[in-house]
Amino acid sequence: MRILMYGWEFPPFNSGGLGVACEGIVNGLLRHNTKIHLVLPRAPQMKSENFNIVDLSSNEDIEFTEINCPVLAYEGEHHYTQNLVNIKNASMYGSDLFQEVERYSQLAGPMAAKHDHDIIHAHDWLTYKAAINGKKISKKPFVAHIHATELDRSGENPNPYIFELEKMGFEHADKIIAVSDYTKRKIVQHYKIPASKIEVVHNAVTKNFKQYQTKNFKESAKKVLFLGRVTMQKGPEYFLQAAAKVARFLPETVFLMAGTGDMLGRMIHLTHDLGIDRNVLFTGFLRGADIDRAFQNADLFVMPSVSEPFGLVALESIQNGTPVLVSNQSGVSEVIPNMLKVDFWDTDEMANKIVATLKYEPMNHDLINLSKRDLNNLEWHDQALKIKNIYTTL
Shortest Å, Cβ 69 to another protein: 40
Residues 6+ apart with CB under 8 A from 218: none
Among positive and negative, which fits the CA dihedral 44, 46, 49, 52?
negative
Shortest Å, Cβ 31 to another protein: 24
Beta strands in 70-166 (DSSP E): 119-123, 142-146
Q: Which amino acid is at 343?
A: D
Report yes or no: 240 and 208 within 8 Å, Cβ to Cβ.
no
* CB nearer another protein, residue 4 or residue 342: 342
* CB nearer another protein, residue 62 or residue 355: 355
Report yes or no: 89 and 32 within 8 Å, Cβ to Cβ.
no
Shortest Å, Cβ 326 to another protein: 12
Shortest Å, Cβ 378 to another protein: 11
* CB nearer another protein, residue 116 or residue 366: 366
* CB nearer another protein, residue 232 or residue 340: 340
Q: What is the largest CA-CA distance in the chain?
A: 64
Q: Radius of gyration (Cα) for the chain, nearest Å?
A: 21
* CB nearer another protein, residue 193 or residue 302: 302
Tell me the C-alpha distance between 371 and 299, whole Å: 14
* CB nearer another protein, residue 170 or residue 310: 310
Shortest Å, Cβ 386 to another protein: 15
* CB nearer another protein, residue 193 or residue 339: 339
Length reported for the chain: 394
* CB nearer another protein, residue 101 or residue 336: 336
Q: Give the footprint of another protein on this chain (CB under 8 A).
A: 249, 337-338, 340-341, 348-349, 351-353, 355-356, 360-363, 365-367, 370, 373-374, 377
Shortest Å, Cβ 327 to another protein: 14
Tell me the C-alpha distance between 341 and 354, whole Å: 11
Nearest to 119 by CA among 1, 9, 24: 1
Report yes or no: 27 and 206 within 8 Å, Cβ to Cβ.
yes
CA distances from residue 227 to 4, 255, 256, 281, 394 in whole angstroms, order as listed? 33, 11, 8, 12, 38
* Dihedrals phi, psi of 333, to nearest 5 degrees: -70, -10
Nearest to 179 by CA among 300, 339, 17, 364: 17
Shortest Å, Cβ 363 to another protein: 5
